[in-house]
Amino acid sequence: MEGASGVSARGLVRTYGTRRALDGIDLDLGPGVTGLLGRNGAGKTTLMRCLSTDLEISDGELRVLDRSPERSTERTEIRRNMGYLPQNPSFYPHFTAFGLLDYMAVLKDLGGRRERHEEVRRALRRVDLYDRRHSRIRRLSGGMRQRLGLATALLGDPRLLLLDEPTVGLDPEQRIRFRDLVSELAVRSTVVLSTHQIEDVAALCRRVVCLDGGRIIFDGSPGELVDRARGRVWEQDTRPEEGVTSWRLADGRHRVLLPVGAPAPEPAPPGRVAVEPSLEDAYLLLTGAVGGGR
């Protein structure tokens, strides 16, 4: 069983009616950033919600921070020690940024007034919203609200941080700031980052877990995922045949991902050169995206 900073799941199942959104997940997570990838509907949010104790599991075993989410006293302890940024967080629009964080800090039992306010100010500075602390939430931009959501998750330096699509709507400067912050937190905390932003995964994660149909189809380092794609990524002058993942590049050439197991077409198409795969290429090959490979 993973230590008090992590997560451990065995045969985890979550159903919605007859649909198995999670279908036998085995996972141990410890400090560091783990990227959770998968296509729409793969089960990422359902997994995050189970880890956050927001959703009950249907079958299997789950331990979070070495406690059981099924027992109410342990569930409360998990919640106090965890930060969760849900997908599409919604806030009370008439609250100020400071007021909302202070409210969340009260719920998390983060000490007396003075101590709590200090923590709220620290969280606001970390997400670069200190200057907007007195603004009503309804007056903040979408990216600022996203950062406010992140600040709520950061309160109290949680040992487990669950971030569901945290960088949606952030400008490039704020995205870099986010990476720096999360990377620093992950030295001692377990961070799970569910995202479609592969660049964030490449920049931040030592480990990648990829879901498909509620099952884990890859669990390893970003480098291992890229290795799988070596020799399968090409650029060429012409559009390839149907059924192969490809897209047109800015210079008019085509980037082509050759599905695993498929032979390279012979003779070689005009101008074909093998290129170094990116993490995105490797992910697309794994999931068989854009009509290819499956």
Ligand X SMILES: Nc1ncnc2c1ncn2[C@@H]1O[C@H](COP(=O)(O)OP(=O)(O)OP(=O)(O)O)[C@@H](O)[C@H]1O
Q: Which is nearer to ligand X, 45 or 190 (CB)?
A: 45
CB atoms within 10 A of CB 189: 22
In the complex, the smallest distance separating the C-beta of residue 14 from ligand X, rounded to whole angstroms, is: 8
Q: Which is nearer to ligand X, 52 or 236 (CB)?
A: 52
- Side by side, the strands of the sheet bearing 273-274 are 245-248, 254-257, 233-236, 273-274
Taken in order 23, 212, 3, 75, the sign of the CA dihedral is negative
| Binding-site ranges for ligand X (CB under 6 A) | 16, 19, 21, 38, 40-46
In the complex, the smallest distance separating the C-beta of residue 71 from ligand X, rounded to whole angstroms, is: 24
Q: Which is nearer to ligand X, 41 or 99 (CB)?
A: 41
In the complex, the smallest distance separating the C-beta of residue 134 from ligand X, rounded to whole angstroms, is: 33
CA distance 49 to 140: 26
Q: Which is nearer to ligand X, 191 or 211 (CB)?
A: 211
In the complex, the smallest distance separating the C-beta of residue 15 from ligand X, rounded to whole angstroms, is: 9
CB atoms within 10 A of CB 39: 16
In the complex, the smallest distance separating the C-beta of residue 217 from ligand X, rounded to whole angstroms, is: 13
CA distance 147 to 150: 5
Buried b (16+ CB within 10 A) or exposed e, 198-234: bebbbbbbebbbbbbebbbebbeebeebbeebeebbb
Q: Which is nearer to ligand X, 136 or 196 (CB)?
A: 196
The distance of Cα 132 from the centroid of its chain, to the nearest Å, equals 27
In the complex, the smallest distance separating the C-beta of residue 292 from ligand X, rounded to whole angstroms, is: 20
In the complex, the smallest distance separating the C-beta of residue 42 from ligand X, rounded to whole angstroms, is: 4
CA distance 3 to 284: 33
Q: Which is nearer to ligand X, 51 or 100 (CB)?
A: 51
What is residue 121's three-state secondary structure? helix
CA 42-48-49 angle, 5° bins = 105
